[in-house]
């Protein structure tokens, strides 16, 4: 499969900002228990509120979001914000700021909830509600989808039926590909967990400098490989994680490193999917 990225770039970089804060499990929303405390591995089974963890998530909206948006703006780099729809419903200013910054919003579910175990009709409604809600919050319907870890055998087909351009629940490659198992093939844009800022959140955790070095090494290696074939790198971050004062500088230094490289196209996932679709059909 022969193609090039726009401007004769050989490496496409996709910065993915996860927006989950406000859509996590909470008994106030009818859930059976509160959101687990990821970094401590604490999962309360009783129907009680975990006020401390709620405030931990709220930090992403109150403080982290502005820092992440600011760093992206200072380097004029577009990102894809994978947002649980309810999170944007509860922070309308954030939805407006994302769109004003020229970024993309990709659906990350209606709530930040697992789809595994949903019936086909329940999952279809879950996708529909997320699509309609994000369209209302941002003024543009989402064209990409990222599940919360677990999805079903029907997910990709249901997304296609709902008019989605691409699906990103895949970790198998460093380039886009077509899922030919469907009646009509669908673009898959693989994601990456190894370079995700969750590595600074869950024990044993990387330091910001260790995470930065890993991200830079990933970028440099893929850029070297891209001389022979088009490559794509995904860098996933979270408002409540990378948006901390002691971590945001690592993202800034990574983007500075990217800005000094040649042959790189920093793009939203929608842009990447559309270009790949045009060049390979």
pLDDT bracket for residue 1 (50, 70, 90): low
**Angle value at C-alpha 241, between 139 and 221, nearest 5 degrees:** 90
pLDDT digits (tens, 9 = 90+) for 216-275: 999 999 999 999 999 999 999 999 999 999 999 999 999 999 999 999 999 999 999 999
Residue with tokens 């509160």: 34
What does the pLDDT read at residue 35?
Answer: 77
Q: What angle, 0 to 180 degrees and rounded to 10, lies between the N-to-C axes of helices 92-100 and 120-138?
A: 70
Q: For residue 245, what are the CA distances in angstroms to 31, 59, 196, 265?
A: 32, 11, 18, 28
Mean pLDDT of all residues in the chain?
94
Asked whether residue 39 carries a pLDDT value surpassing 70, the answer given is no
Q: Are 122 and 156 in contact (CB under 8 A)?
A: no
Domains and CATH numbers, the chain: 6-280 (3.20.20.370)
Q: At residue 92, does pLDDT exceed 90?
A: yes
pLDDT (0 to 100) of residue 77? 98
- Which 3-state string (H, E, C) describes the chain? CCCCCHHHCCEEEEEEEEECCCCCCCHHHCCCCCCCEHHHCECCCCCCCCHHHHHHHHHHHHHHHHHHHHHHHHCCCCCEEEECHHHHHCCHHHHHHHHHCCCEEEECCCCCCCCCCCCHHHHHHHHHHHHHHHHHHHCCCCCEECCCCCCCCCHHHHHHHCCCCEECCCCCCCCCEEECCCCCCEEECCCCCCCCHHHHCCCCCCCHHHHHHHHHHHHHHHHHHCCCCCEEEEEEEEHHHHCCCCCHHHHHHHHHHHHCCCCEEECCHHHHHHHHHHHHC
């Amino acid at each position: 499969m022969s193609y090039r990225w726009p401007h004769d770039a050989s490496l496409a970089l996709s910065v993915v900002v996860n927006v989950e804060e406000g859509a996590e499990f909470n008994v106030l929303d009818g859930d059976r228990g509160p959101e687990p405390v990821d970094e401590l591995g604490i999962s309360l089974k009783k129907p009680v509120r975990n006020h401390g963890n709620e405030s931990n998530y709220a930090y992403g909206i109150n403080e982290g979001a502005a820092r992440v948006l600011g760093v992206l703006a200072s380097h004029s780099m577009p990102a894809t914000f994978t947002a649980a729809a309810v999170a944007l419903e509860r922070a309308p200013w954030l939805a407006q700021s994302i769109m004003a910054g020229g970024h993309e919003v990709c659906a990350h579910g209606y709530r930040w909830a697992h789809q595994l175990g949903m019936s086909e009709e329940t999952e279809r409604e879950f996708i529909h509600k997320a699509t309609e809600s994000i369209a209302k919050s941002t003024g543009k319907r989402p064209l990409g989808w990222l599940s919360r870890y677990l999805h079903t055998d029907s997910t990709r087909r249901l997304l296609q039926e709902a008019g989605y351009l691409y699906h990103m629940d895949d970790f198998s490659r460093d380039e886009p590909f077509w899922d030919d198992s469907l009646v009509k093939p669908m673009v898959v844009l693989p994601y990456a967990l190894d370079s995700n800022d969750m590595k600074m959140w869950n024990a044993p955790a990387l330091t910001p400098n260790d995470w930065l070095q890993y991200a830079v090494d990933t970028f440099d290696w893929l850029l070297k490989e891209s001389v022979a074939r088009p490559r794509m790198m995904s860098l996933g971050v979270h408002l409540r994680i990378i948006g901390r004062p002691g971590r945001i500088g690592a993202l800034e230094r990574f983007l500075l490193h990217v800005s000094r490289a040649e042959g790189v196209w920093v793009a939203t996932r929608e842009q990447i999917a559309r270009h790949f679709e045009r060049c390979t059909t």
